[in-house]
A and B are shown apart, each in its own frame.
Chain A
Amino acid sequence: MSKTNQRLARMLSALVISTGLLSAEAIAADSAVEQGKAIAFDRKKGNCLGCHAIEGGKLPGTIGPPLIAMKARYPDKAKLRAQIYDATKANPYTPMPPFGKHKALSDKEIDLITEFVHTL
């Protein structure tokens, strides 16, 4: 977790304590999405922007489709995760790297990216 994220988490928990508006569950979910975003945008990790346009990302590549309406495209989150884990299963000729199968990302990292991408 980056320093900014840690600071953000501390600020958020302070906010929760002071206002009592957010449940602990909501914070956990938010931070998973934020962590997933960081991994997705990291050039050495997911590097999703290499090929996909994603809201909040600059100069995206054009090889893959823009990541929008993901809940409509993948009502089943497990199917989205499977696609990130090994896209060659659905299409052996895909240029999308099999991130999980080739261990470019850990299972945990793929879980977090899935959480993030599913919000898009």
Chain B
Amino acid sequence: MRKYFSVLLAASLTLGVTTVSADNHGSINNKDAKALADYFDKKFPGVTTNDLVNGAYALDESLFMQFEAQEEFPRYEDFVAQGEEFYNTPFKNGKGFADCFGNDTSSIRPRYPHWDKKKQTVVTLEGDINKCLTDNGEKPLGWKKGMMAYVSGYLSMEARGKTINVVVPNDPKAIEAYNKGKSHFYRKRGQLNLSCADCHVYQAGMYVRADLLSPTVGHVTHFPVFRQKWAGGSDKDDGLGTLHRRYGGCNKQVRAKPFKAQSEEYRNLEFFHASMSNGLKFNGPAYRK
């Protein structure tokens, strides 16, 4: 009798797990995203989760006005146009990006990042842009800025208004990749001993010198990003950069050795980080200080 019960119990537990995994809202990343959204709700009364797509600008009215003024004549517009042109230029073999990504350009960005079951790894938009190029005998692009950021920027612009929905499938390897990204985010690192979460969760809304720290919910919605700071750096830098470029910069700022753009470490981080904006709408590219 006892044996019978335990079998029944095991069966019902299995069923329970299946039900949860079938419903994406109960998945591990959405639970974490909900917890963070609730946390910021309490931390910033009067600021909705949807407002957070504008980062620190959502937290301060006068900063928001400066941001809006920058967005009136966006300095990334020309880069987006160059990205569009590149995207629509056929490869030497006669094929083009549409052969890799399909014809609906607004649905491309929202498919990334995702778990590739066959390759057992996280795949990013930038990764597949270069894969499409090399599969067709073309030269790959640099990961951090220039044409890669332009093409990524064009596809972000096309996807504006679409909802972010990163799915972490109920596959132990996918969950492991997600947890590795989460661990990168919460682990203190570098000579300054700061985690991503130290600044962008616990101290979000506080000032580091004159800079207001942005909450991590809403971070990925506006990438690639046009950063005033990058644009002022050198003549070779026009200011537009990818998410992994920013990761490297963040790691350097806490005096940690950055990982390579599109390394497994950063792809896992993106898997977690993008998940925290699930339910928010794409609004990239966007201006940041």
Is A95 touching B203 in the complex (CB atoms < 8 A)? yes
Q: Which residues of chain B in 206-245 are interfacial with respect to chain A, using CB atoms and an 8 Å cutoff?
A: 206-210
The answer to whether A6 has its CB under 8 Å from any CB of chain B is: no
Is A88 touching B203 in the complex (CB atoms < 8 A)? no
Is A62 touching B206 in the complex (CB atoms < 8 A)? yes
The answer to whether A63 has its CB under 8 Å from any CB of chain B is: yes
Report chain B residues within 8 Å CB of A50: 208-209
Q: Which of B191, B202, B209 has the most CB of A within 10 A?
A: B209
Stretch at the interface among B6-14, B102-110, B170-178, B193-201: B193-201
Known: A63-B203, A95-B199. A104 touches B191 (CB 8 A): yes
Q: Which applies to chain B's interface (DSSP): helix, strand, loop or mixed?
A: loop
Is B207 touching A61 in the complex (CB atoms < 8 A)? yes
- Taken together as a complex, chains A and B put the C-alpha atoms of A102 and B199 apart, in Å, by 19
The answer to whether B15 has its CB under 8 Å from any CB of chain A is: no
Interface size class of A (residues with CB under 8 A): 10 to 19
Is B208 touching A63 in the complex (CB atoms < 8 A)? yes
The answer to whether B69 has its CB under 8 Å from any CB of chain A is: no
Is A63 touching B193 in the complex (CB atoms < 8 A)? no
Report chain B residues within 8 Å CB of A49: 209
Is A62 touching B207 in the complex (CB atoms < 8 A)? yes
Report chain A residues within 8 Å CB of B1: none
Report chain A residues within 8 Å CB of B208: 50-51, 61, 63
Q: Which of A49, A61, A93 has the most CB of B within 10 A?
A: A61
- B 40-78 to A, binary, CB cutoff 8 A, 1 in contact else 0: 000000000000000000000000000000000000000
Nearest first, the 6 A-B pairs at minimum CB distance are A97-B192, A59-B210, A62-B207, A95-B198, A61-B207, A102-B191
